[in-house]
Chain A
Amino acid sequence: MTSPAATLLKISGIEKRFGGLTALSDVSLHIQAGEIYGLIGPNGAGKTTLFNILTGLYQADGGKFLFGDIEYAGRSKPHILAKAGIARTFQNIRLFSNMTILENVMVGCHHHSHTGIWGAITRHKNARNEEQQIAHRAAELLIYVGINRAHHMLAKNLSYGEQRRLEIARALATNPKLLALDEPAAGMNATETDSLKTLLQTIRNHGVTVLLIEHDVKLVMGLCDRIAVLDYGKKIAEGVPSEVRNNPAVIAAYLGG
């Protein structure tokens, strides 16, 4: 059991270069267990790149991060990090669009279910029980994120806002310690954004730490406990929302000073 103030994720000196372009240089962050941590910055600042390193889609050129008790050099495979407890959503929604909404969430349960190829072929009793449990849990998660639709509906037929919620449900199905959301409110109207805010607070209250990339400043300021600002691959500010809002470097980055 981690105490509320324990550090969940400690990023130290992460570097990432694409050819001659430095996307991230010496980025360090501490995220406490149980907080909602915002990551903001102008377009191209390196926010999504940092997400991709944390989730194993990119390999870091330098630095490391400590998640829970395990240290990663930023070179682990995505499914390993998923097992360790980092889940994410994407800026451009990446659902399994031709699978049903229930199946989408059930894929998220993949790593904590066990039926292998043999159980699948023989349809062993344990395998069937496990399937039922997973389906049950997936159905609960759909309700949890507020999707009240027929389970056999294809993911691509959901509305845009619902697709974003489905991505969150799928990520939650992996039982994450850290939920990393890449612009979850993008393209949402004010009502949808409000209910997303409520959902994220609920998720946090249930013990999942939330790391949030978001452009909606009102949402970020109103929701996050602490915020870091990236600009040109460097962290230029970090702190509680009121500090960050009044930081001259942040104002300069955003207004092009």
Chain B
Amino acid sequence: MDIFLQQIINGLVQGSVYSMVALGYTMVYGILGLINFAHGEIVMIGAMVALSVIQLLTGAGFPIFFILLISLMLSMIVCMILGYSMERIAYRPLRNAPRLAPLITAIGLSIVLQTLAMMFWGREYHSFPLLFTNDSVHIAGAVITEVQIIIITVALVMMGGLLILVHRTRLGRAMRAVAENPSAAALMGVNSNSVISITFVLGSALAAIAGIMISANYGIVHYLMGALLGLKAFTAAVLGGIGNLRGAMLGGLLLGLIESLGAGYIGDLSGGFLGSHYQDVFAFFVLIAVLIFRPSGLLGERVAERA
């Protein structure tokens, strides 16, 4: 029972990170019909920037809370600028191009960002400094660390905030209007270009936070960390129904749970033949299964093939 509970906790922690990243995919898809495969790299850059800031500031005698706040702010700002420029430079000129063109551009961007990060931060694994004490809380035999509690809380607050933003505010209304019908929205006086820019900026800010979360949880940062994480978050978005915000949140949490429960029990189930390092396989099993049995995702509407 305690293993089960432990895996549930781990799954929720991992899942909140997936959800935050999946939101970036789903927001951009919802509004442009584009899958921004470079989104995972924004997560990585967010983590790298935070790492550099923390390295610079530690030893200067600042309180930990201050260091964390500054690194969070700077990494969000860098990622927001990156997200904005990405859309402006790489995607906007291709707005009316065939759908394959922006997709390939996204893959290219992702490689460019990985390479730049490698040149700047090097190929080696960096250890992400421990910002909190390793204190943990014991619940019914399972352990949850302070960092993990913070991760889950921040993710929930961010996701709640995003839902309010999209469903209860003028800006959110404009975003939904552009997503449904860009030309009609423009004729109502909505500047669709600036709404699209804001969408990228918001998604990138969430990605920066997610990058710091996952690095703080695992204690490791690497220039390729965005690739697999991005693919999994994309899987989570598809699982929930891509284009649907609640779907991305649900999909992320479910995927985290599936992965961690799978990893926890696959050893027993296969009689020791397969180990927990098969964890990553589960995400892609889920992706394949969703694409076969429910391509519109759990919360996605069954829509006719888009032109």
Contact = CB atoms under 8 A, between A and B. Distances in A.
A88 B169 contact: no
B177 A115 contact: no
Nearest to A114: B170
A20 B148 CA distance: 65
B172 interface: yes
A216 B191 CA distance: 34
Interface stretch (A9-17, A103-111, A139-147): A103-111
Interface in A56-85: 56-57, 77-79, 82-83
B187 A88 contact: yes
A110 B173 contact: yes
B186 A79 contact: yes
A55 interface: yes
B206 to A, nearest CB: 13
Interface string A162-198: 0000000011011000000000000000000000000
Contacts of A106: 170, 173
A83 B165 contact: no
Q: How large is the interface on A (under 10, 10 to 19, 20 to 34, 35 or more residues)?
A: 35 or more
B176 interface: yes
Given A115-B171, A121-B165, A82 B183 contact: no
Contacts of A127: 169-170
B185 interface: yes
A123 B165 CA distance: 9
Contact of A56 (B184, B186, B190): B186
Interface in A98-145: 98-99, 103, 106-108, 110-113, 115-117, 120-121, 123, 127, 130-131, 134
A87 B180 contact: no
B161 interface: yes
B177 A107 contact: yes
Contacts of A171: 188
B295 to A, nearest CB: 19
Contacts of B186: 56, 77-79, 82
What is the interface of chain B mostly: helix, strand, loop, or mixed?
A: helix
A98 B171 CA distance: 17
A97 B185 CA distance: 12
B183 A107 contact: no
A203 interface: no
Contacts of A130: 170
Contacts of A232: none
B174 interface: yes
B271 interface: no
6 contacts: A90-B184, A103-B173, A107-B173, A107-B188, A116-B171, A174-B188
Given A120-B171, A131-B168, 10 more contacts: A56-B186, A77-B186, A77-B191, A96-B184, A99-B177, A99-B180, A111-B188, A115-B171, A127-B169, A174-B189
Interface of A: 55-57, 77-79, 82-83, 87-88, 90, 94-99, 103, 106-108, 110-113, 115-117, 120-121, 123, 127, 130-131, 134, 170-171, 173-174
Nearest 9 Cβ contacts at the A-B interface:
A111-B189, A78-B186, A82-B189, A120-B169, A94-B184, A96-B180, A120-B171, A107-B177, A79-B191
